[in-house]
């Protein structure tokens, strides 16, 4: 499995968790208003925390991949610069003659 597939699978997993938390917030909010019960408001707060934590995890996953891609781009660019600086075999032989 490549990095893109792993990333998309993890993001989809987090999105499912976020969706579940959002549904629970909605249900708990409606019951909190209807019943005027603090326990339902507590449930809203806890599920909102889960919602935001899930979004934060997605951003961290994306940042991690961005860092990996940045490092790869840097290494490739460094390789290309070094490769272009090396004299070709025909040029170095011409200098010897």
Domain map (residue ranges) of the chain: 3-96
- Could you tell me if 18 and 55 are in contact, meaning their C-beta atoms sit under 8 angstroms apart? yes
pTM, 2 dp: 0.66
**Pairwise CA distance, residues 93 & 87, whole Å:** 10
Pairwise CA distance, residues 24 & 16, whole Å = 12
Number of neighbouring beta carbons within 10 Å of residue 51: 18
Q: In the structure encoding, which two tokens stand for residue 32, read together? A: 């909190």
15-68 pLDDT, tens digit per residue, is 999 999 999 999 999 999 999 999 999 999 999 999 999 999 999 988 888 777
> Would you say 3 and 69 are in contact if contact means Cβ atoms under 8 Å apart?
no
């Amino acid at each position: 499995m490549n990095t893109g597939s792993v990333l998309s699978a993890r993001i989809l997993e987090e999105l499912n968790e976020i969706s579940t938390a959002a549904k629970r917030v909605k249900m708990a909010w409606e019951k909190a208003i209807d019943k005027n019960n603090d326990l339902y408001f507590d449930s809203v707060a806890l599920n909102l925390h889960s919602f935001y934590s899930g979004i934060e995890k997605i951003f961290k996953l994306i940042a991690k991949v961005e860092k990996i891609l940045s490092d790869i781009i840097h290494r490739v660019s460094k390789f290309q610069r070094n490769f272009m600086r090396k004299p070709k075999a025909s040029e170095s032989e011409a200098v010897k003659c």
